[in-house]
């Protein structure tokens, strides 16, 4: 493993982590991006994403995975003025600004991301904050190397205070996409700790399991290694590396309950990592700064791992334990005619 420093125009120095693979087996060059959002500035974040994507493509990457909420931002440290029974005016204004930084799916930002994927000929997995009316979702978008938007996954269970700002995804957005470089899907941050969700993805045949996250603790690595072994799949976990200065300054943005932060204080230390189906760490974890972290994925490793353990195949006991997934879209309101819905929308 070697770190190769590479300058990025108008930005920091990024590090590419190279790993060799068995040349006799099919391989995929994959990159996880460890970088911060330009908070409250979606256009600047998309510009940064394109610079990073171009850099990864220059190394020959075929698949590039960005962190959770990269477009739209992860509001670390904010409580949006919420206490039980009360919401402050300042907190409501914070939500208005956060809502404004989110993106519609589909929408112009999605179209731009699709163009990027096609321009650089990479499969792109991008964490975004999705705006659906006035409800926000923590979402992952998938694009193929021809610039086509494949679909999305909405986080099914936001964690802790995330539930005051993000809605809940349903079973209709738990996709695994079959592509020429493997079957690709994603789960976001702590929903990776939900065994039934993982089992649903294993049943869809996931081979390249993307895990965008906001968790930089050491214990996250244990979860990622376990999932690689359990699912017999490659794990690509991308997290942001953020300093206090990557967020707006106080009093516009306040890190609640955290004192003595300087502009250079690290508020999320990354820990992005790539792990093989055998549990071997191929690249990372990186806690040093913004980086591009890459590895060559030997797809032959999947079959070798499944020979040992296939959780939804020869190591399952369906006569004892089964899982039912309700994978249809859910809606709080259903109209019996299209005209009825349109009347409501256009009043």
Chain centroid to CA 139: how far?
A: 7
Return the percent helix, strand and coil in the chain, to nearest 5: 30, 30, 45
Q: What is the average pLDDT value for the chain, to the nearest integer?
A: 91
Residues 127-167: tens digit of each pLDDT? 999 999 999 999 999 999 999 999 999 999 999 999 999 99
pLDDT at 257: 80
40 and 95 Cβ atoms separated by less than 8 Å: no
Residue 140 forms beta bridges with which residues?
A: 127, 153
Helix-helix angle 42-58:108-120, to 10 degrees? 10
pLDDT at 342: 57
Residues 17-75: tens digit of each pLDDT? 555 545 566 899 999 999 999 999 999 999 999 999 999 999 999 999 999 999 999 99
| Close Cβ partners of 140 (under 8 Å, ≥ 6 residues apart) | 125, 126, 127, 128, 152, 153, 186, 188, 210, 212
Alpha-carbon span 273 to 49, nearest angstrom: 19
Could you give phi then psi for residue 70, rounded to 5 degrees?
-65, -45
For residue 47, the number of C-alpha atoms closer than 13 Å in the C-beta half-sphere is 9
Token look-up 């390249």 returns 208
Is 191 an annotated catalytic residue?
A: no
Name the active-site residue from 16, 68, 130, 207: 68
pLDDT at 256: 87
Cis peptide before 285 (omega within 30 of 0): yes
- State the pLDDT confidence band at 190, using cuts at 50, 70 and 90: very high
Helix-helix angle 195-203:219-231, to 10 degrees? 40
- State the pLDDT confidence band at 13, using cuts at 50, 70 and 90: very low
Average pLDDT over residues 247-253: 91
- Is residue 346 predicted with pLDDT exceeding 90? no
pLDDT at 23: 52
Token look-up 């996954």 returns 153
Token look-up 């998309």 returns 46
Cis peptide before 251 (omega within 30 of 0): yes
Q: What is the DSSP string of 148-198?
A: -EEEEEE-SS--GGGGGTB----GGG--EEEETTEEEEE--GGGGG-HHHH
Token look-up 């820990």 returns 271
Q: Which of 81, 30, 25 is CA-nearest to residue 272? A: 30
Domains and CATH numbers, the chain: 27-308 (3.60.110.10)
Alpha-carbon span 233 to 303, nearest angstrom: 9
Residue 286 forms beta bridges with which residues?
A: 272
DSSP H helices, 239-333, are: 300-308
pLDDT at 156: 97
Could you give phi then psi for residue 91, rounded to 5 degrees?
-65, -35
pLDDT at 341: 54
With left for phi above 0 and alpha for psi between -120 and 50, is residue 228 left, alpha or beta?
alpha
Tell me which DSSP letter residue 103 carries. B
- Largest distance between two CA atoms of the chain: 63
């Amino acid at each position: 493993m070697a770190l190769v420093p590479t300058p990025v125009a108008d930005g920091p120095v990024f590090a590419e982590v190279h790993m060799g693979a068995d040349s006799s087996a099919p391989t995929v060059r994959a990159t996880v991006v460890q970088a911060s959002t330009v908070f409250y500035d979606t256009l600047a974040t998309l510009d940064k994403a394109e610079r990073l994507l171009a850099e990864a493509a220059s190394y020959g990457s075929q698949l590039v995975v960005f962190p959770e909420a990269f477009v739209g931002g992860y509001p670390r440290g904010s409580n949006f003025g919420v206490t039980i029974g009360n919401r402050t005016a300042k907190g409501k204004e914070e939500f208005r600004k956060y809502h404004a930084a989110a993106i519609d799916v589909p929408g112009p930002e999605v179209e731009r991301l699709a163009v990027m994927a096609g321009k650089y000929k990479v499969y792109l997995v991008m964490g975004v904050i999705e705006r659906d009316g006035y409800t926000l979702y923590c979402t992952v978008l998938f694009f193929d190397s021809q610039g086509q938007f494949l679909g999305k996954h909405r986080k099914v269970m936001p964690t802790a205070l995330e539930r005051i700002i993000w809605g809940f995804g349903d079973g209709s957005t738990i996709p695994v996409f079959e592509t020429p470089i493997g079957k690709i899907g994603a789960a976001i941050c702590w929903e990776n700790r939900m065994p039934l969700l993982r089992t649903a993805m294993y049943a869809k045949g996931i081979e390249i399991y993307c895990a965008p996250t906001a968790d930089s603790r050491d214990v996250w690595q244990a979860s990622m290694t376990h999932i690689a072994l359990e699912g017999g799949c490659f794990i690509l976990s991308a997290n942001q590396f953020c300093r206090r200065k990557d967020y707006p300054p106080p009093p516009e943005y306040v890190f609640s309950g955290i004192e003595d932060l300087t502009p250079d204080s690290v508020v999320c230390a990354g820990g992005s990592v790539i792990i093989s189906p055998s549990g071997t760490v191929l690249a990372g974890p990186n806690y040093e700064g913004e980086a591009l972290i890459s590895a060559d994925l030997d797809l032959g490793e999947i079959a070798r791992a499944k020979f040992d353990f296939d959780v939804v195949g020869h190591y399952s006991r369906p006569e004892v334990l089964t899982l039912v997934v309700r994978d249809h879209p859910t809606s709080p309101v259903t109209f019996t005619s299209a005209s009825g819905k349109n009347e409501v929308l256009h009043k």
